[in-house]
Amino acid sequence: MTLPGRQEVTGRTTARGYGSDMSNERLVLLAAGGTGGHLFPAYALAEELARRGIAVELATDMRGDRYGTGFPARAIHRIPSATLTSKSPLDVARTGLTLSKGVLAARKLIKDVKPSVVVGFGGYPSFPPIVAARLAGIPTILHEQNAVLGRANKMLAKRVDAVATSFEHVKFLDGPLAAKARFTGNPVRDAVIAEAAKPYPVPSAAGPFSLLVFGGSQGARYFSDTVPAALVLLPLDLRARLRVVQQAREEDLDRVRGAYAAAAIAAEVSPFFKDLPARMAASHLVIARAGASSVAELTVLGRPSILVPLPHALDNDQLHNATRLAESGGGWCIEQKVLSPERLAGEIARLAADPALLERAAAAAKASGRPDAVKRLADLAASLMI
């Protein structure tokens, strides 16, 4: 995939317009991929480093920029990576072989580009560049977006110079590893910061009620099944007030749109919204999963939410993220196993009838946000540069 303003060069994407003399400039190599939760904070850090006149290159897995971000890096390098999905000997061997290939490719990359520091954002795409940097004596930082230290970061934490965290307390980051912890917050993109200047649009008792539903970077089948079924249970007067924006998978679009049309509910349904920060800022209530980037953006924007953590996650990271936000008063955490359409309808009706409660939750969410997270992480990276 070729990104806007860049060209593919032998497995590497290079931004047009850069000069060839890079011998004396400072360079930060970012390592991120796999999910938007890892890629979006790396995007935010790249923006901040560019403002400081520091060059950025990205090492990512072979899936490329599937979120359409147009990542703001001088060059994007494809490094082999794999996620361990089971403990079967065959899967372990395959994953190990791919990661070994990735480390070899990353060692060559680091020798070529000579970064001053390498920053990994978790997930297995961070593994080869961080290991290669450690072998080369390059300073390294891990950023943990969740309230629980992820599997790949657990493996890497002993090898790095610092672990930047999004929460003041992170599960499994204890003992000797605690000395490496640096609380920065979770960086959000410039587009989120810009929208955060807008105050929460407190709904009126009889006016339109804007509801945003999204399930993370790839949408959620569960929301396509549950949310339309819940909204048709609402009283007619509230249904007439609804203005729904919902993310849904391609294969679910027709049935979700059909359900809203049959219920005479005004709705815009799409598989992806590039202007999601603006949509979030315009919402009276958000229903979402509890991925790290989603929670960070909701708090920086200051928008109330019903969070439904992704079930069956190995470390229950989304449940921990949602619980922390709920404890702050900035939203409501409801586990999927107990959230029927009937209960969801009751929650939406209760909140829509109490604008003051929504306003208080919006203020609590904003109070727990860290809009300066990207500056703090950039400061940490700068302090370790060689």
Specify the CATH number for the domain of residue 169: 3.40.50.2000
- Residues 51-69: what's their mean pLDDT? 77
3-state secondary structure (DSSP) of residue 224: helix
Do the domain assignments include residue 1? no
Do 300 and 224 share a structural domain? yes
Q: Which of 332, 335, 323, 318 is nearest to 222 (CA)?
A: 335
Query: Using CA atoms, how far apart are residues 39 and 33, in angstroms rounded to an integer?
Result: 6
Q: Which two tokens stand for residue 284?
A: 């009276």
pLDDT in tens, 8-59: 333 444 443 333 344 457 999 999 986 778 899 999 999 999 999 999 999 9
337 and 377 in a common domain: no
Instruction: Return the H-helix or E-strand segment holding 216.
Output: none
- Would you say residue 16 lies in a domain? yes
Within this chain, do residues 178 and 49 fall inside the same structural domain, yes or no? yes
Is 224 contained in some domain?
Answer: yes
Amino acid, single-letter form, for residue 23: S
Q: How many domains would you assign to the chain?
A: 2
Which residue range(s) make up the domain with 148?
A: 6-187+371-384
Token couple for 362: 């919006």
Q: What is the DSSP string of 6-67?
A: EEEETTEEEETT--S--TTS-EEEEE--SSHHHHHHHHHHHHHHHHTT-EEEEEE-TT--TT
Percent of the chain with pLDDT strictly greater than 70:
90
pTM comes to 0.86
Rg (CA), the chain: 21
Closest CA to 367 of 378, 356, 359: 359
pLDDT tens for 277-310 read: 999 999 999 999 999 999 999 999 999 999 999 9
On whether residue 216 sits in a domain, the answer given is yes
201 and 113 both lie in a single domain? no
Helix (H, G, I), strand (E, B) or coil at 320: helix
Q: Is the pLDDT of residue 199 over 50?
A: yes
Q: Which among 273, 157, 265 has a CA at the least distance from the CA of 215?
A: 273
- Mark whether 59 and 170 lie in a shared domain: yes
204 in the same domain as 181: no
